[in-house]
């Protein structure tokens, strides 16, 4: 009996069409030119993909975490770097929508594409231990002065507003961390040249430097005591969305490999008729199914208002690993044709490697998972 497939929501179908018409045709160009996909990103935000988690009453999509993951899985099949730019923007827009003052100041332009957001936590010398950031914020009259540097800032190349995490307490620690909104063009803010990476150049990743940057009191976003918790919550969500995006590129790679193998002839038959290749791609299909189950289990926990930290770590760890090995296997199934840039597989393979670092490496996920195991058996 054939299982009935539930039709995709209008939002997910809209994402499929947007990716087909605007992402896929440009993805190779962004990579070859090592350019951020600024105009397409603004177009995507204006089309409704920049406020996925913003409530409908505030003119967002009001999507669940699960549907947001499906939208980004769909877009990532065209280009993971582009989809991750949307993740960063969506995270900031959703956070701003929950604060009355910041919503009035910024949200409308964040949803129209006039403003693109960036998240600034990682520093040149501080990555995994986010509580140890050295960027400092000190009170100065009716505002704050920020000094420090941030690294690996997605969207930095063209972002209009930077959410900067800084330490406000000389004693240090997570409790002293706050976040501040710093508009592009603020005196003392320097945006470095975009990084040249293995792939995912559509993200427009670079570093920023803050030297005596003065911001008014109303640019204090998450005060001390809330800043670090807010950053960690955003990272949990980003890990789930990254997992979904890895499913997107792996699914696309599998589709392209199957299509190519079905039409390729060798020794008088389609290469897809060879059992060795069939089993190779069957292994990819199994890992893709497992990655989806882990990903959407984590998303469902977030939808239920439960902690998704451990589930997100499992999903991110497995999905990135499945994407790395699976995309490589799909390239192998296509022979040397898989190396050509007109095919998306080399771009997907580079993006899968980049995804292993975004929002915590596999080793960081192991730390999160191991700590939960130790806690459970140390009671």
How far apart CA 355 and CA 319 sit, in angstroms, is: 9
How far apart CA 152 and CA 171 sit, in angstroms, is: 26
SS (H, E, C) 165-207: EEECCCCCCHHHEEEEEEECCCCCEEECCCCCCCCCHHHCCEE
Q: What is the DSSP letter of 123?
A: B
Q: How high is the pLDDT of residue 4? A: 39
Pairing of strands 220-222, 265-266: unpaired
CA neighbor of 264 nearest in space, from 273, 275, 253, 255: 273
Measured in whole angstroms, how far is the alpha carbon of residue 115 from the centre of its chain? 18
How far apart CA 185 and CA 228 sit, in angstroms, is: 26
Contact residues for 132 (Cβ-Cβ < 8 A; gap 6+): 126, 172
Q: SS3 of 128, please? A: coil
Q: Is 184 left (phi over 0), alpha (psi -120 to 50) or beta?
A: beta
- From first CA to last CA, the distance across the chain in angstroms is 48
Asked if 59 and 119 touch (Cβ cutoff 8 Å), the reply is: no
Compute φ and ψ for 301, nearest 5 degrees. Answer: -60, -45
CA neighbor of 317 nearest in space, from 370, 279, 280, 281: 370
Q: How high is the pLDDT of residue 378? A: 80
Tokens standing for residue 275 = 């059992």
Q: How high is the pLDDT of residue 375? A: 87
Q: Vertex 235, ends 166 and 303: CA angle to 5°?
A: 135
Asked if 359 and 88 touch (Cβ cutoff 8 Å), the reply is: no
How far apart CA 215 and CA 300 sit, in angstroms, is: 38
How far apart CA 316 and CA 358 sit, in angstroms, is: 10
Compute φ and ψ for 165, nearest 5 degrees. Answer: -95, 130
Residue ranges of domains in the chain, CATH in brackets: 10-115 (1.10.540.10), 119-225 (2.40.110.10), 228-376 (1.20.140.10)
Return the bridge partners of 269, or none. 266
How far apart CA 314 and CA 308 sit, in angstroms, is: 10
How far apart CA 165 and CA 118 sit, in angstroms, is: 11
Q: SS3 of 66, please? A: helix
CB atoms within 10 A of CB 15: 30
Per-residue pLDDT of the chain (379 residues; tens, 9 = 90+): 333 334 458 899 999 999 999 999 999 999 999 999 999 999 999 999 999 999 999 999 999 999 999 999 999 999 999 999 999 999 999 999 998 999 999 999 999 999 999 999 999 987 667 778 899 999 998 899 999 999 999 999 999 999 999 999 888 788 899 999 999 999 999 999 999 999 999 999 999 999 999 999 999 999 998 888 888 888 899 999 999 999 999 999 999 999 999 888 888 888 888 899 999 999 999 999 999 999 999 999 999 999 999 999 999 999 999 999 999 999 999 999 989 988 999 999 999 999 999 998 899 999 999 999 998 888 7
Q: How high is the pLDDT of residue 6? A: 42
Pairing of strands 161-167, 117-120: parallel
How far apart CA 347 and CA 331 sit, in angstroms, is: 11
Tokens standing for residue 353 = 């490697």
C-alpha distances in Å from residue 267, one per residue of 264, 275, 277, 337: 10, 14, 14, 18
How far apart CA 298 and CA 240 sit, in angstroms, is: 7
Tokens standing for residue 46 = 């204006």
């Amino acid at each position: 009996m054939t299982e009935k497939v539930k039709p995709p929501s209008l939002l997910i179908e809209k994402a499929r069409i947007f990716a087909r018409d605007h992402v896929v045709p440009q993805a190779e160009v962004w990579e070859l030119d090592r350019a951020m996909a600024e105009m397409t990103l603004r177009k995507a935000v204006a089309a409704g993909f920049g406020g996925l988690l913003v409530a409908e009453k505030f003119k967002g999509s009001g999507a669940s975490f699960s549907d947001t993951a499906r939208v980004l899985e769909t877009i990532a099949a065209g280009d993971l770097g582009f989809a991750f730019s949307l993740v960063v923007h969506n995270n900031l827009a959703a956070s701003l929508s929950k604060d009355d003052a910041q919503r009035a100041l910024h949200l409308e332009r964040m949803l129209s594409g006039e403003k693109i957001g960036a998240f600034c936590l990682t520093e040149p010398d501080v990555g995994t231990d986010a509580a140890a950031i050295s960027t400092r914020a000190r009170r100065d009259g009716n505002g704050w002065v920020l000094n420090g540097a941030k690294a690996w800032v997605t969207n930095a190349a063209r972002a209009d507003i930077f959410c900067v995490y800084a330490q406000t307490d000389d004693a240090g620690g997570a409790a002293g961390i706050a976040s501040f909104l710093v508009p592009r063009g603020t005196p003392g803010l320097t945006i470095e040249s975009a990084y040249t990476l293995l792939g995912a150049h559509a993200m427009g990743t670079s570093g920023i430097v803050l030297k005596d940057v003065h911001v008014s009191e109303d640019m204090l976003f998450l005060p001390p005591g809330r800043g670090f918790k807010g950053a960690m919550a955003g990272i949990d969500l980003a890990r789930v969305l990254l997992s979904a995006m890895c499913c997107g590129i792996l699914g696309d790679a599998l589709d392209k490999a199957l299509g190519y193998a079905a039409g390729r002839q060798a020794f008088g038959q389609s290469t897809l008729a060879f059992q060795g290749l069939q089993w190779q791609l069957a292994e990819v299909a199994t890992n893709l199914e497992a990655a989806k189950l882990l990903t959407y289990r984590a998303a469902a926990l977030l939808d239920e208002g439960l902690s998704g930290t451990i589930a997100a770590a499992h999903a991110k760890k497995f999905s990135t690993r499945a994407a790395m090995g699976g995309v490589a296997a799909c390239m192998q199934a296509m022979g040397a044709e898989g190396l050509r840039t007109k095919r998306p597989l080399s771009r997907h393979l580079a993006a899968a490697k980049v995804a292993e670092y975004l929002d915590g490496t596999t080793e960081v996920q192991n730390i999160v998972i191991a700590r939960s195991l130790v806690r459970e058996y140390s009671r």
